[in-house]
């Protein structure tokens, strides 16, 4: 296997306070952004309404589209350029009108503006109840995933590892949601799939580090460098594997973000952010175990004895 970091001895545990500050700062920024934006920007999958994808024969501006919609009282609709200036997504709120009638009215109104031929490429309709149900199901899916991981890691290692892993996952999801909020991207079903993928990816990295800690403890390191040295050693030993895996995953997600098209762009963006935060949190989470252990023993020194159970 390719090794880019051989026999490293970085003191990650000694820098853990900086990790905590960075994580806390990122989470606070995410929460502030979500609050300032009035919550997450849910897509039509979760809010309900009608989405119409249309394409003009020649390039037009958002103002042209809005003026056309204003003819039928839909000037406040959300209009988003989709790829090039000829293609747009129009998101309409819930309406008493049937989807077919609404689509025909939009097409007639926009065609009357004289901006050239207009093609309706896609129409999606989601009812209000379906949207609310999807929001709850999405929340349950993420919580169930984290609960399952908590149980697995608690059985595989110990309850502290389980709790720390879930904290790391919550951190990764929150930071990703914050990035989506700051950039104004929608929370859609593909983005939800990306968040669940991040949960699975992040826990994989974390378990690799935890597993190495457990293996080292099992070799009788009670008289060794102590827990701080043991955690540092585990992180350094897995550093090459972690970075190589994360880098190749990051490249795949980044290429998808650049060339995957508008439909996959938000999904790929969430993956890019999630891979970066997941890699980072796998290191910071391991360091958190040391503080937990010191706290539980009621003393602060970093080089305490290695506990009997991993």
Judged against a pLDDT cut of 70, whether residue 251 lies above it is answered with: yes
| CA dist., res. 244 & res. 2, Å (int) | 8
Full DSSP string of 115-177:
S--EEEEEEEEE-HHHHHHHHHHHHHHHHHHHHHHHHHHHHHS-HHHHHHHHHHHHHHHHHHH
Q: If you average pLDDT over every residue of the chain, what do you get?
A: 81
pLDDT higher than threshold 70 for residue 306: no
pLDDT at 21: 92
Sheet holding 78-82, edge to edge: 78-82, 84-92, 49-56, 118-126
Higher pLDDT, 245 or 157: 245
pLDDT of 219: 60
Which band of pLDDT confidence, cut at 50, 70 and 90, is reported for residue 309? very low
pLDDT, mean of residues 282-303: 70
Q: In this structure, are residues 164 and 270 in contact, taking their beta carbons and an 8 Å threshold?
A: no
**Burial (CB count within 10 angstroms: exposed 0-12, middle 13-18, buried 19+), residue 221:** middle
Residue with tokens 């951190």: 171
pLDDT tops 70 at residue 310: no
CB 12 within 8 A of CB 235: yes
pLDDT of residue 308: 40
Instruction: With cut-offs at 50, 70 and 90, classify the pLDDT of residue 212.
Output: confident
Reported as a single tens digit per residue, the pLDDT across 74-112 is 877 878 887 788 888 888 877 777 777 888 888 888 888
CA distance 41 to 51: 15
């Amino acid at each position: 296997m390719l090794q880019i970091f051989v026999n490293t001895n970085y003191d990650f545990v000694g820098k853990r306070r900086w990790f905590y500050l960075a994580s806390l700062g990122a989470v606070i920024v995410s929460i502030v952004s979500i609050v300032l934006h009035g919550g997450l920007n849910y897509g039509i999958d979760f809010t309900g309404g009608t989405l119409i994808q249309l394409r003009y024969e020649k390039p037009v501006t958002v103002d042209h589209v809005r003026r056309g919609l204003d003819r039928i009282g839909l000037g406040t609709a959300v209009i988003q350029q989709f790829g090039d200036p000829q293609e747009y997504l129009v998101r309409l709120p819930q309406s008493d009108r049937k989807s077919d009638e609404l689509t025909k009215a939009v097409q007639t109104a926009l065609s009357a503006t004289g901006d050239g031929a207009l093609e309706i490429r896609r129409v999606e309709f989601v009812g209000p109840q379906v949207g609310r149900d999807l929001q709850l199901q999405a929340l349950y899916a993420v919580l169930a995933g984290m609960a399952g991981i908590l149980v697995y890691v608690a059985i595989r290692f110990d309850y502290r590892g389980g709790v720390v892993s879930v904290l790391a996952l919550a951190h990764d999801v929150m930071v990703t949601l914050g990035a989506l909020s700051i950039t104004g991207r929608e929370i859609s079903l593909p983005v939800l799939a990306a968040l669940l993928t991040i949960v699975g990816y992040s826990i994989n990295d974390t378990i690799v580090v935890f597993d190495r800690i457990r293996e080292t403890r099992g070799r009788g390191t009670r008289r060794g460098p102590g827990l701080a040295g043991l955690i540092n050693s585990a992180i350094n030993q897995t550093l090459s594997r972690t970075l190589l895996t994360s880098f190749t995953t990051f490249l795949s997600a980044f290429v998808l973000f650049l060339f995957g098209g508008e439909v996959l762009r938000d999904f790929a963006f969430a993956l890019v952010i999630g891979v970066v935060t997941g890699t980072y949190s796998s290191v910071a989470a391991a360091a958190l175990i040391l503080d937990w252990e010191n706290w539980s023993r009621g003393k602060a020194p970093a080089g305490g004895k290695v506990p009997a159970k991993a």
